[in-house]
Each structure stands twice: as C-alpha cells, then as structure tokens.
Amino acid sequence: MDLTAATADETAPGTPPPLGEHLRSPRLRTAMLVQQEALQAARDYLRGEGFTELLPPLVGPVTDPGGRGAKALDVDYYGHPYKLMTSAILYKQASLRGFPRLFYIAPNVRVEPEETATTGRHLVEFHQIDVEIADASREDAQEIAAGLLTHVTEHVWTAVPELLTGLGREEADFADVRAGKYDVRTHEEAVARLLSLGHPQNPDGEIDWTGERILSLESDRPFFVDDYPKGSRGFYDREDPERPGVLRNFDLIAPHGYGELVSGSEREADYATLVTRMRESGENPAKYAWYLKEAREGIPSSAGFGMGLQRLVRFLTGLDALWQVSAYPKLPGVVAP
C-alpha cells in the first residue's frame, strides 16, 4: 500500500467526498485496518479482565436521554413510538444481575445539533465500547478504562506500527499512554483553568467543545476529569452522597487536542432517587416503566463507561476528523447515504 499517497493526496476537507469515493480512499482503508486491530485488542483486554460480550439492543421504548441537544430517532414499532438507541446504558444496568461484568461494541445513533458538525468529533452514527461493572466504584471503572486504552494503544503500535507512522504519527507521543500514565483533575479545576485562560466555560455544565480542545491541547498525556455537576449529565449518573450537586462521574480526555474518548460514572440504582432524578432532568418516568420495574426489584450498584470507537481510532491515527475513520460517515446536519 502506498501510504505516502494516502496522506499526500488527501487533505482534510470539512466534509466527506461522495460515499463511493470515500470508500475507495487509501486513507479510509488504513483507518479501518487500525480499527480492526483496536477492536480485537479491546475484546482481548476486556475478556481477559473477566468481561462477557453481549450484543446490544437497537430499538426500545426509551433510550439514553443524553444531553447536549442530541436527540433520538423515532421508530414506529407496531404502532408504538420507539427510539433508536442513543446508548444502551439502561440495558447495561438491567443486565448486571445476569452479567456482572459485561460489554458491548454498541452502535448508537444520535441526531446531534448541527453546530457539532465542525468539531471533527461528532458523527450521527457511531460505536461505543460500552462497559458496565457490578458493585464497582468510579475508580474501578477508571482503572478499566485506562487499562483498555493502554492495552489497545500498545497492541496497535505493536501490530501495525507502519500504518500509524505512515499517517504521520510519532511513537513518542504515545509513551505516556503506553506506560499507563494518566492525570486526574476535577471538573471544578478544569473550569478554573479554562476561565484563567479567558475561555467562558459554564461552571454548571459539560466542558464545552472548545474548552475540551483547549485542555486536551495543553496536555501530553490522557487525563480524567471527575465530578461533573448535577444537571450536566443523565439521571443515571450517581450523585455523591457526601457532596450534593456533584456527580460520581468522569470523562477521559485524550492529549494533543483529540479530546474526550470516554464518559463514565458510578450509576444510580435506587428506585426513588432514579424517579426524582428523572424529574430533575425533565423526563417523564412513565416512559421508563420497564427500567423502573427492574430498579424497583433491585438493580445492582455499578460503574461503567462508554469509549467512543471512532474517537479512539481517530486518536490512534491522528486524522483530523471523525468522518475520516468511519466507512459510512453521517455528519450532524448533513443528509448522507
């Protein structure tokens, strides 16, 4: 394969070429070869850690309500209004009694707001390596997330180093990841840092795309951001009983501007708290009947996370935009086949 041509001929336009052309591009081929190595490494790592792989559901009466303005697609399911999965978080929790350590390679569909089309980090259709661990703490989940990223990176650099160097990646840039060196900061510290840099970060919300990029750019190693404020995430992220208003959750941010790879948390499993938290996020608990029935009967406490597969591959390959690492990219707001 002529990797030189792959990088020289293709600059990084803002939008994909016609699909046929995209599918024939050497750069996509390289990205897919890296992706299959990453997938194999992820499965190897998780199964080695005692996880069972399940295949996730695609539609259901409810899905992850998410946030940040992304919406679920409607499906007419025998006359019932169903949703395509934006994430299978509710099913992960419900599966824990039978599968205390489980993961999916889950396809998700989120109709993202159009302003995310230019972040280079959003696709409407994407996949997550979706992990859930019964009776685990946030720190347990972070250990698995870090171990997963380290293992996948190590594997890809061992198995197909020529693909990465062909795309211009420097092995030295991955030294900290491969050595398992991760930093941790709190959301509050991240906000303070951004404000000190003059970036108007909302202290009550997610770190915005620009802020996340700023923090990612000034770091040489991946880092966790802990303790997002209540209201910035879904109802299932557990509120810290010691610190009301603070969630026991985290993101894992890749260095060098690649941004968020992972979101995760300890989960709320208490029925009454779940109902109240649903109301706090404007949700109608009646929609979640099946899930709340499970919660009433007892869902194990857990922690888990989702690692964006395309984001992982983009980080490994160093490509500019997420559509370049998806065979069938759908950018927010762009009607594509």
Q: Which residue's CB is nearer to another protein, number 70 or number 89? A: 70
14, 67, 161, 168: which one contacts another protein (CB under 8 A)? Answer: 67
**Residues of this chain, 259-278, that bind another protein according to CB under 8 A:** 276
Of 14-22, 139-147, 149-157, 201-209, the segment contacting another protein by CB under 8 A is 201-209
26, 180, 318, 333: which one contacts another protein (CB under 8 A)? Answer: 333
* Element (DSSP H or E) covering residue 262: strand 259-266
Residue pair 310/330 in contact (Cβ under 8 Å)? The answer is no
Calpha distance 299→181 (Å, rounded): 33
Core vs surface per residue 95-110: b (16+ CB within 10 A) or e: bbeeebbbbbbbbbbb
Q: Are strands 101-109 and 80-84 parallel, antiparallel or unpaired?
A: unpaired
* 102 to 141: interface string for another protein, x by CB under 8 A: ---------x-xx---------------------------
Query: Is 69 among the residues that bind another protein (CB under 8 A)?
Result: yes
Residue pair 266/241 in contact (Cβ under 8 Å)? The answer is no
71, 155, 181, 185: which one contacts another protein (CB under 8 A)? Answer: 71
**Residues of this chain, 282-311, that bind another protein according to CB under 8 A:** 282-284, 287
Calpha distance 157→2 (Å, rounded): 19
202, 210, 243, 320: which one contacts another protein (CB under 8 A)? Answer: 202
Query: Is 280 among the residues that bind another protein (CB under 8 A)?
Result: yes
Shortest separation between residue 67's beta carbon and another protein, angstroms: 5
- Encoded tokens for 53: 């792989």
Calpha distance 66→83 (Å, rounded): 13
CB-count burial class (<10 Å; 0-12, 13-18, 19+) for 306: buried
Of 65-73, 89-97, 248-256, 303-311, the segment contacting another protein by CB under 8 A is 65-73
Ramachandran angles phi, psi of 57, nearest 5°: -70, 155
Query: Is 203 among the residues that bind another protein (CB under 8 A)?
Result: no
Q: Which residue's CB is nearer to another protein, number 172 or number 335? A: 335
Backbone region of residue 26 per phi and psi (left: phi > 0; alpha: psi in -120 to 50; beta: other values): alpha
24, 47, 243, 279: which one contacts another protein (CB under 8 A)? Answer: 279
Calpha distance 11→169 (Å, rounded): 16
Binding stretches for another protein (CB under 8 A): 67-72, 81, 111, 113-114, 202, 204-206, 229-232, 276, 279-284, 287, 333
